[in-house]
Amino acid sequence: MPTPQAGRLRPWLRLSLFTAAALTAVASSASPDTHVSNKQSFATDVVYQIVTDRFKDGDASNNPSGAAFSAGCTQLKLYCGGDWKGITQKISDGYLTGMGVTALWISQPVENISAVINYSGTNSTSYHGYWARDFKKPNAAFGSIADFQALVTAAHNAGIKVIIDFAPNHSSPADPANSAFAENGRLYNNGTLMASYSSDPSGLFHHNGGTTFSSLEDGIYRNLFDLADLNHNNASVDAYFRSAIQGWLDLGVDGLRVDAVKHMPFGWQKSWMAHIHGYKPVFTFGEWFLGVNEVDPANHAFANGSGMSLLDFQYAQRVRQVLRDGSKTMQDLHQTVVDTAGQYGQVIDQVTFVDNHDMDRFHQAGAPQRKLEQALAITLTSRGVPAIYYGSEQYMTGNGDPNNRAMMSGFGTGTTAYQAIKKLAALRKSNAALAYGTQQERWLSPDVYIYERKFGTQVVLVAVNRSASTATTISGLMTALPAGSYSDVLGGLLGGGAMSVGSSGAVPNFVLGAGAVAVWQAAPPITSPTLGHVGPMMGKPGNVLTLDGRGFGATKGSVFFGSTAVTGASILSWEDTQIKVTVPSIAAGRYAVKVRNASAVDSNAYAGYQLLSGPQVTVRFIVTNATTALGENVYLTGDKFELSNWSTSTPVGPAFNQVVTSYPNWYYDVSVPASTTLQFKFIKKNGSAVTWEGGANHSFTTPATGTATVTVPWQP
């Protein structure tokens, strides 16, 4: 195995997050821009996804040496030198701000293994950041903690938020049969070895073999590929990740992208998110990969219940089919817009994209550039938080990993894509309809989609003709735009032109050119209270909740959780476009949130806020000897909101019975209130037919911290 020590020889760079507290205080107080401090609503932002190693080498001295490094980045599974200083340079020289980017999603920043692994003849390294060794230290190839802080400070000063990738599902590759393979999955706690995959006396890892992806359960409790899978039901692992994420939040991180959320226990993730939202709440979105045409109710349930959003693969795959591959129509795209608006409780919080480091790049060699430009324009004018993969603006190509992760090809600012992103990013800021509005179809054919987004009195109308050869006469178009004439926000960059609107919103016939995108808009001030966003959508009494919208006025009014008014000192700040409140101490449950202004005018209600009972811990509930008939599943229900308040229509589960325990013994990991006595029972369900356990309720008192397991026999 070549140079397993490469990259380890710079002890002065291997600082800990936990020795940098003083620097942190300076960095986080340096942000002058109040918008940048909004860590909840990213819907007005444009995210730019950077594979840190592949963007810009700003410091050759931190580059790994020997077999781990590829000078000139000709070997795409080796380190290529990109680092935090390089990203900072591209903030300072205006490349990123000039494109209108307001958030960066960077690779997982934590210390990774330095082994070079030979997979079927190809040397591979942790350049991507997903092979962690110590979640409390920085990846030395990306820079020092000081470099990371300099990046955060430069970003904040430029009006840019920083999102880190984070992958608590696993440490690094391990071979159960060979402890000498790579770094044996070794996990360190700020420099102290916790366990390796082959020497794991306290059970920090799962030892259940590799997943075949046959079921959710199989994917959660077995190894993803060869990655040493962490056991989040272990109290040390739980405590480790609660504290590790605090270290990064303390460095001023504004958002999190959580890797592989389909592969970690949902109950643990919810309790971890409750911890984050009680510490420093930040916008968090998970990666739950969906293939082409895949629609998964479990994915929607996760987005609606876990306290984090998701990357919107359902929408991304559809946009690619319609605009890249031509295998679906604009009518299919509209149907996906309608479907997802119903499936996701907060569709505006899901993160939209057209490609990423796990997909073929959208642009293909030889394909018309306009296809990508249309896809970017649709993404930037859609509901959701748009994320643009680095190099899209340079028309980079590349199918599959690692060809989709090549070194950034150049930093020219003159491309059509760069200019289109710049114009539409500005529109996301100036017109609230894009971020917070609702969407309506105004004209639809297999090739043409004209859609309108509207929030209060603010309106954006977008027209896209994907046909490269046929112009379409648009007749009978109606819009909510006021009468008048409108110029194309893109200034004709993608072939659009001016449009006029008559009285009652009728648009005289016009021709939408082949391949054209046009964007028209009106953004009169919104003067009555209009609520656009509430975040985070899960929390507990005492947490800080941020409300964004327009027209709240300058004078403090009140905020309602259902029928409970929050007033006075519990309103922490009140501006025309943003309110911060302390979450009240009322019964746990789902609440609609609304604003009442100082003149007693109410806003729209924003449904679905999930108020938890209090601080959360993860408990594994096991029931033994629960035999079931074909079609029956076992669920959990009980006397707390977190246990569904004795619901049989939406109980917790279905429980699992294959990996950790085997049928007829079932288990499920659940986020429940800490230091609380729970009453619970298991039920068997087949459709709406329910069989309750007999006898008295089971009772269990949860710990104040850590994790627990409670095992009960099925009571016939």
Residues that bind Ca ion (CB under 5 A): 57, 59, 62-63, 81, 83, 169, 229, 263
Interface with ligand NOJ, residue 325, by CB under 6 A: no
Q: What's the min distance (Å) between Cβ of 282 and Ca ion?
A: 23
Interface with ligand NOJ, residue 636, by CB under 6 A: no
Mapping DSSP to helix (H, G, I), strand (E, B) and coil, where does residue 264 land?
coil
697 binds, among ligand NOJ, Ca ion, none (CB under 5 to 8 A by kind): ligand NOJ
Q: How far, in Å, CA of 113 to CA of 4, rounded?
A: 9
Structure tokens at 176: 């159960």
Binding to ligand NOJ, residues 648-687 (CB under 6 A): 681
Q: Cβ closer to Ca ion: 88 or 637?
A: 88
Q: What's the min distance (Å) between Cβ of 261 and Ca ion?
A: 10
Q: Cβ closer to ligand NOJ: 358 or 575?
A: 358
Q: How many CB atoms are located within 10 Å of the residue 426 CB?
A: 13
Q: Cβ closer to ligand NOJ: 371 or 681?
A: 681
Q: Cβ closer to Ca ion: 174 or 385?
A: 174
Q: How far is CA 358 from CA 103, 330, 362, 399, in A?
A: 20, 25, 12, 9
Task: Please list the residues that pair with 685 across neighbouring strands.
Answer: 633, 690
Interface with ligand NOJ, residue 697, by CB under 6 A: yes
Interface with ligand NOJ, residue 692, by CB under 6 A: yes
Interface with ligand NOJ, residue 383, by CB under 6 A: no
Q: Cβ closer to ligand NOJ: 464 or 712?
A: 712
Interface with ligand NOJ, residue 130, by CB under 6 A: yes
Q: Which residue is nearest to ligand NOJ (CB)?
A: 130
Q: How far, in Å, CA of 59 to CA of 69, rounded?
A: 14
Binding to ligand NOJ, residues 248-277 (CB under 6 A): 259-260
Q: Cβ closer to Ca ion: 88 or 610?
A: 88
Task: State yes or no: is 452 an active-site residue.
Answer: no
Q: How far, in Å, CA of 571 to CA of 677, rounded?
A: 32
Active-site option among 217, 218, 287, 373: 287
DSSP 71-123: GGG-STTSB----HHHHHHHHHTTHHHHTT--EEEE---EEE----EEETTEE
Structure tokens at 635: 């669920």
635 binds, among Ca ion, ligand NOJ, none (CB under 5 to 8 A by kind): none
> Which residue in 205, 197, 170 sits closest to 181, CA to CA?
197
Q: What's the min distance (Å) between Cβ of 626 and ligand NOJ?
A: 15
Q: How far is CA 521 from CA 115, 289, 431, 665, 676, in A?
A: 53, 34, 8, 59, 53
Interface with ligand NOJ, residue 316, by CB under 6 A: no
646 binds, among Ca ion, ligand NOJ, none (CB under 5 to 8 A by kind): ligand NOJ
For 98, phi and psi rounded to 5 degrees? -65, -25
Burial of 715 (0-12, 13-18, 19+ CB in 10 A): middle
Structure tokens at 41: 């609503």
Which residue has tokens 């905020």?
Answer: 559
Q: Cβ closer to ligand NOJ: 182 or 516?
A: 182
263 binds, among ligand NOJ, Ca ion, none (CB under 5 to 8 A by kind): Ca ion
Task: State yes or no: is 287 an active-site residue.
Answer: yes
The answer to whether 201 touches 294, Cβ cutoff 8 Å, is: no
Binding to ligand NOJ, residues 279-308 (CB under 6 A): 287
The answer to whether 465 touches 446, Cβ cutoff 8 Å, is: no
Active-site option among 57, 229, 259, 349: 259
Binding to ligand NOJ, residues 227-246 (CB under 6 A): none
636 binds, among ligand NOJ, Ca ion, none (CB under 5 to 8 A by kind): none
In our burial notation (b when 16+ CB lie closer than 10 A, e otherwise), range 298-325 reads: ebbebbbbbbbbbbbbbbbbbbbbbbbe
620 binds, among ligand NOJ, Ca ion, none (CB under 5 to 8 A by kind): none
287 binds, among ligand NOJ, Ca ion, none (CB under 5 to 8 A by kind): ligand NOJ
Q: What's the min distance (Å) between Cβ of 77 and ligand NOJ?
A: 12
Number of residues that bind ligand NOJ (CB under 6 A): 11
Interface with ligand NOJ, residue 357, by CB under 6 A: yes
Q: Cβ closer to ligand NOJ: 89 or 171?
A: 171
Interface with ligand NOJ, residue 646, by CB under 6 A: yes
Sign of the Cα pseudo-torsion (18, 278, 265, 311, in order): negative
357 binds, among ligand NOJ, Ca ion, none (CB under 5 to 8 A by kind): ligand NOJ
Q: How far, in Å, CA of 490 to CA of 422, rounded?
A: 9
Cis-peptide into 297, omega within 30 deg: no
Q: Cβ closer to Ca ion: 296 or 332?
A: 296
Interface with ligand NOJ, residue 213, by CB under 6 A: no
Interface with ligand NOJ, residue 358, by CB under 6 A: yes
Q: How far, in Å, CA of 110 to CA of 17, rounded?
A: 10
107 binds, among ligand NOJ, Ca ion, none (CB under 5 to 8 A by kind): none
Pairing of strands 187-189, 192-195: antiparallel
| Angle, helices 369-380/416-430, rounded to nearest 10 degrees | 10
Please report, as ranges, the residues that interact with ligand NOJ according to CB under 6 A.
130, 167, 259-260, 287, 357-358, 646, 681, 692, 697
Residues assigned a catalytic role: 259, 287
